A = this chain, B = another copy of it.
């Protein structure tokens, strides 16, 4: 039988209310009793029950974490996990803990995210995804529960979102390619269901035209997802359809890595025959040969800002605010200058 608030009250010779007030910093408690009770708490190692507190206050100090989308996004996703890592740090700093909803089919509340949020009484939640999502997410988005989306535009009154400037990053890539002398530019993205990829593709095409170049649709391939295998297949399709462009931008580093593997098999050198730029700047970029140039998404900042935004949504009636984060071009070896040959 663990020690609870009643035990403390009895030991201190005060009422339960008094103990509770002390824990919640009420002012109508004398300094004497306060210190006495606190002392007893310390001695007994008393820990208040979060369930009881949540039940009484409707606040759980818990943040729900949702990996949304039909794709298999989970802990192993190199981009999102880094964002989450930073998010967790900042959220912990603000006094919250993270609750990861399982989404196994066997689960009673499977798929119904709003229900799960209510079930656990989370104070807010973060939704990470790389694609358009199931209706159950919209339901949550438009509910009263504060939500912050990463790479997904939440529109609810108590929601906000944060993402990199996907349009601008494409411009930066095209600009770089152009300045290096490349004129034939290709793109590897993911399914049409992905807003992210769509925006990048749009930005890429617009940029190409703004530099007075032509868009060749054969050099635009959208695979099924953002993983390596899709990048591998994309290159094969590209080669089958036409000759290769001089440079290609892949909408994720994993796509780029898969692309490089395919190019290697076709005896094409990176960057001499085809220059490659990836996107995200995951750890693995440094370990590939050639090292992968990429658009760095400031994952640390995204996670931290997501936490701050969510905190505001929870604790103030602040207008929902969305932020786009400036991406950065990281030049390594895979996009080397054409002129150097």
Output the least CB separation between A52 and chain B (Å): 5
User: Chain B residues with Cβ under 8 A from A318's Cβ?
Assistant: none
- Whether the Cβ atoms of B76 and A119 lie closer than 8 Å is no
Instruction: Identify which of B45, B51, B88, B106 contacts A55 (C-beta below 8 A).
Output: B51
A216 at the interface (CB under 8 A from B): no
| Chain A window 137-175, contacts with chain B (Cβ cutoff 8 Å), 1 for yes, 0 for no | 000000000000000000000000000000000000000
Closest residue on chain B to residue A54 by CB atoms: B51
Provide the bound-state CA to CA distance between A65 and B160, in Å: 28
Q: Which of A75, A96, A257 has the most CB of B within 10 A?
A: A75
Closest residue on chain B to residue A144 by CB atoms: B2
A184 at the interface (CB under 8 A from B): no
Q: For window 49-99 of chain A, which residues contact chain B by CB distance below 8 Å?
A: 49-52, 54-55, 60, 62, 74-76, 78, 81-82, 84-85, 88-89, 91-99
Q: For window 247-296 of chain A, which residues contact chain B by CB distance below 8 Å?
A: 257, 283-284, 287-289
User: Chain B residues with Cβ under 8 A from A217's Cβ?
Assistant: none
Interface segment out of the listed A25-33, A107-115, A186-194, A323-331: A107-115
User: Chain B residues with Cβ under 8 A from A55's Cβ?
Assistant: 49, 51-52, 55
A103-B95 contact in complex given A47-B118, A55-B51, A257-B287, C-beta closer than 8 Å? no
A321 at the interface (CB under 8 A from B): no
Provide the bound-state CA to CA distance between A84 and B60, in Å: 24
A101 at the interface (CB under 8 A from B): yes
User: Chain B residues with Cβ under 8 A from A93's Cβ?
Assistant: 102, 104, 106-107
User: Chain B residues with Cβ under 8 A from A88's Cβ?
Assistant: 74-75, 100, 102
Output the least CB separation between A80 and chain B (Å): 9
- Whether the Cβ atoms of A82 and B91 lie closer than 8 Å is no
Q: How many copies does the complex hold?
A: 2
Output the least CB separation between A67 and chain B (Å): 10
Output the least CB separation between A174 and chain B (Å): 26
Provide the bound-state CA to CA distance between A225 and B74, in Å: 26
The 6 closest A-B pairs by CB, nearest first: A92-B102, A289-B289, A92-B104, A75-B85, A51-B54, A98-B100
Residues of A within 8 A of B (CB): 2, 45, 47-52, 54-55, 60, 62, 74-76, 78, 81-82, 84-85, 88-89, 91-104, 106-109, 115-116, 118-121, 257, 283-284, 287-289
- A sample of 26 inter-chain contacts (CB < 8 A) reads A47-B118, A47-B119, A48-B119, A49-B118, A50-B119, A50-B121, A51-B54, A51-B55, A51-B60, A51-B120, A52-B55, A55-B55, A62-B99, A75-B81, A75-B88, A76-B82, A81-B81, A93-B104, A94-B106, A95-B106, A98-B102, A99-B99, A284-B284, A287-B288, A288-B289, A289-B289
